[in-house]
C-alpha cells in the first residue's frame, strides 16, 4: 500500500468521472481505503447498486481506526481545524506512511501537507 484513497475520488469514479477511474486503474494494487471512506461512499449508494459498490470497496485493503489513530486525529484536528473525518483520514495516511489522494485542495494543500496528492481537478463546464 502506498496510497490512501479519499472518499471523493471513489465517489467521482462511481459518478463516471474518467479522471478518477484512470487514477484508480493506474494505481491498482497500491491503494487502500479507510473505514471512513467506506462509510462515506456507502451513504450515497442507491440500494440497487450496494452489492456492486461493496465488492469494489472490498477490492481494496480497508484500514481501521485504532486508538492511536484517533489520538493522532484529535491532535491534527486541533492543529489544522479540520473536520473530524478529514483529520482521521490524515492520521491514517500519516500513521501508515501513505500518500492521501484527494481533491480537497482547500484543506489539504500539497504545498503544506507533503503527504497529500491532488491527482486531478474537476472543472465545471
Residues paired with 3 in a beta bridge: 31, 99
Domain boundaries, the chain: 3-64+97-117
Q: What is the DSSP letter of 112?
A: T
Cell (9 digits) for 2:
502506498
Please give the sequence-ordered ranges of beta strands (E in DSSP) within the chain, or none if there are none: 3-5, 31-34, 62-63, 99-101, 116-117
Q: Which fold has domain 3-64+97-117?
A: Rossmann fold (3.40.50)
pTM strictly above 0.85: yes
Q: What is the pLDDT of residues 8-51, one digit of tens each?
A: 999 999 999 999 999 999 999 999 999 999 999 999 999 999 99
**Which residue's C-alpha cell is 474518467?**
18
Q: What is the pLDDT of residues 46-91, one digit of tens each?
A: 999 999 999 999 999 999 999 999 999 999 999 999 999 999 999 9
Amino acid at each position: 500500500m502506498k496510497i490512501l484513497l479519499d472518499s471523493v475520488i471513489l465517489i467521482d469514479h462511481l459518478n463516471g468521472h474518467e479522471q478518477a477511474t484512470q487514477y484508480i486503474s493506474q494505481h491498482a494494487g497500491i491503494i487502500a481505503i479507510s473505514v471512513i471512506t467506506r462509510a462515506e461512499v456507502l451513504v450515497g449508494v442507491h440500494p440497487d447498486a450496494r452489492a456492486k459498490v461493496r465488492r469494489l470497496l472490498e477490492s481494496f485493503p480497508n484500514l481501521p481506526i485504532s486508538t492511536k489513530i484517533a489520538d493522532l486525529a484529535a491532535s491534527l484536528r486541533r492543529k489544522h481545524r479540520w473536520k473530524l473525518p478529514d483529520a482521521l483520514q490524515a492520521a491514517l495516511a500519516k500513521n501508515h506512511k501513505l500518500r492521501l489522494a484527494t481533491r480537497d485542495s482547500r484543506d489539504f494543500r500539497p504545498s503544506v501537507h507533503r503527504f497529500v496528492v491532488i491527482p486531478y481537478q474537476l472543472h465545471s463546464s
